[in-house]
Amino acid sequence: MPSPAALRAHVESALGERLSSTLLLREKIAPLTVSTGVAGLDALTGGLPRGALSEITGPASSGRTGVMLAALAGATRRDEACALVDASDNFDPASAAAAGVDLDRLLWVRCGESDRASPSNAQQRTALGRLEQVLKVTDLLLQGGGFGMVVLDLGDIPPGSVRRVPLTSWFRFRRAVEPTTTILLIVEREPCAKTCASLVVRLQRTAVCARDAASPSETEFHGWRVLSRTEPAIPHANAVSHAALLHGMQLRAEVVLSWMQRKPVQSVGTDFELRAGW
Amino acid sequence: MFACIFIPDFPVAAIVRAEPLLREHAVAVLDGKPPQVRVFALNDKGRLLGMEIGMTKLQASIFAAAKPERAPATKTVAKKKPAQIEFGARHTKTQPPPANAIFRQRSPVQEDSAHAALLDVAHAFTPRVEDTHPDRLLLDLGGLERLYGPATAMARQLASRVSSVGLDCNIGTAANPDAAMHAACGFSGVTVIPVGEEARRLGVLPITVLLDSFDLAHGSEAETSASVREHGKLREQMLDTLERWGVRDFRTLALLPEHALASRLGAAGTRLQQLSRGAGMRTLALCEPQMHFGEAIELESAVETLEPLSFLLNRLLDQLCARLEARALAVQKLTLRLQLEPRVADEQTTTLQELAAARDTTGSNGDLYTRTLRLPVAMRDPKIFLKLLQLDLAAHPPGAPVCKLWLAAEPAHPRSAQRGLFLPITPEAEKLEITLARINGVVGERRAGIAEVLDTYRPDAFHMERFVSQQEDRTPGGDLTLSDTSSAPPVALRIFRPARRIRVQLIKGRPCKVTALDQHADRNELQGKILWSAGPWRSSGDWWAERSAPFKTNPEEAHVWDREEWDIALAADNGGGVALYRIYYETGTGHWFADASYD
């Protein structure tokens, strides 16, 4: 019984002339990466790969939007045109401006207008309607080209609905961005693009920093903490939120899948903090 | 050196320009009100069938379907000389006659468009242009030899440019404007008359060419119908006199004794003889180039669907862009006006309501339906314009059949900036416009663009602006490297639009439990026990406004606000974990709302 190496050498010598490229191992070229806008995440992931699909996942209030805005701020600072496909029309321009996003370079597409006209629609039907819009708009944006970053914000779409998006759609998107320098970023609750994604990061909130007169000391309950601050509650002149009570959040990021290492042997994570922009 | 551009059978040419398929047919242009509808103009194929100008429609229709059995009607075009230069595929008498003819009503609108196109071509060639008549232009070519080459090359290039705007023309060049005009009117194709050869070359032309040009050259500009009749009468008298003398061409007239001619015909006779010899110089009455670019088409039968309308738009856009290209201009704003057929009142009530609504929103006036495309950058690609108009009309259908189209362009100088090799990528302006139009078709009008934050403390105050590809040079120091990042990115809000109605239970003035009231998809996530709360933060504004609007749940529409905001950590009943929300108590109505989540 010949060894696999000998067998391969035999096949290559027989067919190598005619099929020179099929049997050669293609060396995977590391994609260009850009900063996520968060130093801790950059150290963990190596940045967002260009020409690839990346996912940022996490439950509500886990800092996904903050990381998304940081990435958009970095892209617009590089003078790149960006597009945000907002599935639930949740984007807050004031937060983005406070995060440093150049709004003049950000195309904001607000999906879900039809939902407002018919609020009695079933949850599933509504979400699918939005998703159809998101997929169509993303197709158009990627076909048009020229965007440095295209972000799909599916953060408020139920994971069950997102999972129903056929894998071929994500594959098509990945193929569309592969020959370009566009970063396709999906913000969602659970990973959905599966093998089409080059980078999947899961975020979790560990603590909340807030001004709370009622509980001046650190409070811990249900597995997370409220770190009370004692600064006077005087909002900044350009405050995003008039409440100005929340200082920030402490988060933990974990790489689920990476272009550098498809299957991490063990959980690789890092801690960082989101600070309120007010 | 002077040149004349002459469009034979101009009313027919104007219609054929809008309907190129008619080139292969005999076309008769009708004018007048019924029952006095008569043939006003014909093309060569129409003449081959035996039709003549002045026939009634009934008479012409007899010839229209019949093969000619006799010699074709007398033509003013003289036999071609070997020295003449032919241009283009002009229809000659040797071609087989067409089987039938097509009748079209005269269209002054299309004639104006064709004449404007002709003027654009002429002004693009030289600034010294005399606009003598709708079907002919005189150009002063002096000093253009270094640009375009000798007279022959200039004439060919001129003919090529006229052909690019959809018109077949005769070009004549000579040392004086009148000789050039007679050459263009009398000979088909391109005719170049060398200096000193005018009398010999023009000698073969029939005298009618001279009389037509003479009347036109000396007629007043604002001709009334009475003066036209007077000119026609004088022309007939002159022609009759000359024919009785045996004068039928230029050469014969040129050989008559000057004094005897002057004593019998007066100053007009002297002038006619001078023109027949190709002599006499005059100054051109120059006209200013117009900056109005418009094309129009009138339809025999109304168009009801978008697809045939697209073909017509394509044709108009091609013509418009060819004119703009001739003047090295682009388009900044494109206005499409459609004349709609009046609908029968009892046809469809809902459609009329929709039409009325469309008129309210899109600026339709009476039977006219207007759509305007404002382009962020100047463009000149007819395919892009067509796609944008198609998408716009698909999103805003006219609501009734279309019987007339006008397309007007606001000219602008084309983009001249050249981008650097190392600048970041940005969407191409032309592609971006189409992409945005398609996206608007998916998500709705004004749902895609740039968010501009308003200068107010009102929550969620912004308005949408048009997204434009930023293509200015990169600012130094704008690069972001992996090390140039923030250690603490910002907390962001995710706004609920509209704010969601909730019921809040209070203990000692602090919220402790939330129950959702809206039938929203996230209803289950917005009800549960409040684990932590901070607040209240009282906020109000715009209460000083003169006109206080009633309370509206949509923050984009609300003007006055007065509320107490709380930040809460909510443990959802559905087991979705703990999330942070911003809720507020509306003091005016006493209702609670959740308007954002922290993320």
pLDDT for res B353 = 52
* Residue B508 CB neighbour total at 10 angstroms: 6
Cβ-Cβ contacts under 8 Å between A and B: the total is 275
pLDDT tier for residue A263 given thresholds of 50, 70 and 90 = low
Residues of B in contact with A136 (CB under 8 A): 442
Q: Which of residues 495-524 of B touch A (CB under 8 A)?
A: 495-498, 510, 518-522
Q: B467 at the A interface (CB within 8 A)?
A: yes
Q: For residue A44, which of A203, A244, A208, A274 has the smallest C-alpha distance? A: A203
**How is chain A split among helix, strand and coil, in percent rounded to 5?**
30, 25, 40
Between A232 and B418, the higher pLDDT residue: B418
Place of tokens 């010949």: A2
Between B63 and A226, the higher pLDDT residue: B63
- Run of H or E residues at B581: strand B578-586
Give the pLDDT confidence of B42-87 residue by residue, as tens digits. 888 888 888 888 888 888 888 776 554 444 444 444 444 433 333 3
φ, ψ dihedrals at B128, nearest 5°: -100, 95
Q: What tokens were used for B348? A: 């469809």
Report the distance separating Cα B164 and Cα B264, nearest Å.
Answer: 47
Residues of B in contact with A69 (CB under 8 A): 489-490, 492
CA dihedral B62, B63, B65, B66 (to 10 degrees): 110
User: Given A66, A103, A224, which is nearest B578 (Cβ)?
Assistant: A224
Report the distance separating Cα B115 and Cα B158, nearest Å.
Answer: 15
Residue of A nearest to B581 (CA): A61
Q: What tokens were used for A116? A: 């407002």
pLDDT tier for residue B546 given thresholds of 50, 70 and 90 = low
φ, ψ dihedrals at B142, nearest 5°: -60, 130
CB-CB under 8 Å, B435 with A143: yes
- A185 forms bridges with which residues in the sheet? A54, A151
Is the confidence at residue B236, as pLDDT, over 90?
no
Between B171 and B456, the higher pLDDT residue: B171
Looking at every residue in chain A, the average pLDDT score rounds to: 77
CB-CB under 8 Å, B452 with A93: yes
Mean pLDDT of B252-260: 88
Q: B485 at the A interface (CB within 8 A)?
A: yes
> What does the domain layout of chain A look like in residue ranges?
33-203+253-275
Give the pLDDT confidence of B516-530 residue by residue, as tens digits. 887 665 666 788 888
Give the rounded distance of the alpha carbon of B357 from its chain centre.
26
User: Given B447, B478, B565, which is nearest A77 (Cβ)?
Assistant: B478
pLDDT tier for residue B476 given thresholds of 50, 70 and 90 = very low
Place of tokens 């010598």: A13
Q: Which residues contact B283 (CB under 8 A, 6 or more apart)?
A: none
User: Given A111, A219, A221, which is nearest B443 (Cβ)?
Assistant: A111
Mean pLDDT of B384-397: 90
- B10 forms bridges with which residues in the sheet? none
pLDDT for res B231 = 72
pLDDT for res B227 = 66
Residues of B in contact with A97 (CB under 8 A): 453
User: Given A67, A77, A106, which is nearest B489 (Cβ)?
Assistant: A67
pLDDT tier for residue A149 given thresholds of 50, 70 and 90 = very high
How is B145-191 classified by DSSP, letter by letter? HHHH-SHHHHHHHHHHHHHHTT---EEEEESSHHHHHHHHHHSSSEE
Weakest mean pLDDT among B119-133, B182-196, B210-224, B374-388:
B210-224
pLDDT for res A172 = 93
CATH number, domain A33-203+253-275 = 3.40.50.300
Report the distance separating Cα B18 and Cα B40, nearest Å.
Answer: 18
Place of tokens 């203990």: B507
CB-CB under 8 Å, A276 with B490: yes
Weakest mean pLDDT among B226-240, B256-270, B392-406, B442-456:
B226-240
CB-CB under 8 Å, B478 with A78: yes
Place of tokens 């800092």: A63
Between B35 and B131, the higher pLDDT residue: B131
Is the confidence at residue B96, as pLDDT, over 80?
no
Looking at every residue in chain B, the average pLDDT score rounds to: 79
pLDDT for res A147 = 92
User: Given A37, A211, A233, which is nearest B486 (Cβ)?
Assistant: A37
In chain A, what percentage of residues exceed pLDDT 90?
25
Nearest CA-CA distance, residue B42 and chain A, Å: 49
Mean pLDDT of B326-349: 77
Is the confidence at residue B480, as pLDDT, over 70?
no
Q: B486 at the A interface (CB within 8 A)?
A: yes
Is the confidence at residue B32, as pLDDT, over 60?
yes
Q: Which residues contact A27 (CB under 8 A, 6 or more apart)?
A: none
Give the pLDDT confidence of B172-217 residue by residue, as tens digits. 999 989 899 999 998 989 999 998 888 888 888 888 888 877 754 4
pLDDT for res B4 = 93
Is the confidence at residue A247, as pLDDT, over 90?
no
CB-CB under 8 Å, A277 with B490: yes
Burial class (CB in 10 A: 0-12, 13-18, 19+), B575: exposed
Mean pLDDT of B429-433: 86
